[in-house]
Structure 1
């Protein structure tokens, strides 16, 4: 929703019935997991 639909954290929270802070935390965790997975495959960002 954040990347594909370009929704704000507030819009996502409303749609999913979550707190805005929960949405922000989940997005940060997801990005960290993606970064870790890409780095394990040899991708270096920067």
Structure 2
């Protein structure tokens, strides 16, 4: 997780300026994605499910 945060901080630094709000939003989005993946683990998400 620390490596992901470090990679994101390097990717979104603009001219030495640290845009913390953008990074927080990206990390929250990544956390929501991981949560969604964990919740659907083991479910059959084939077209028949929907």
The equivalent of 2:37 in structure 1 is 37
Shift of 1:4: 3.0
Superposition TM-score, scaled by structure 1 size: 0.55
Shift of 1:41: 0.4
Aligned residues: 35
The equivalent of 1:17 in structure 2 is 13
Q: Which runs of 5+ in 1 are unaligned?
A: none
Q: Which runs of 5+ in 2 are unaligned?
A: 43-50
RMSD (Å) for aligned C-alpha atoms: 2.4
Greater C-alpha Rg: 2
Superposition TM-score, scaled by structure 2 size: 0.51
Using CA pairs under 8 Å that are at least 6 residues apart, name the structure with larger relative contact order, 1 or 2: 2
The equivalent of 1:27 in structure 2 is 27
Shift of 1:3: 1.9
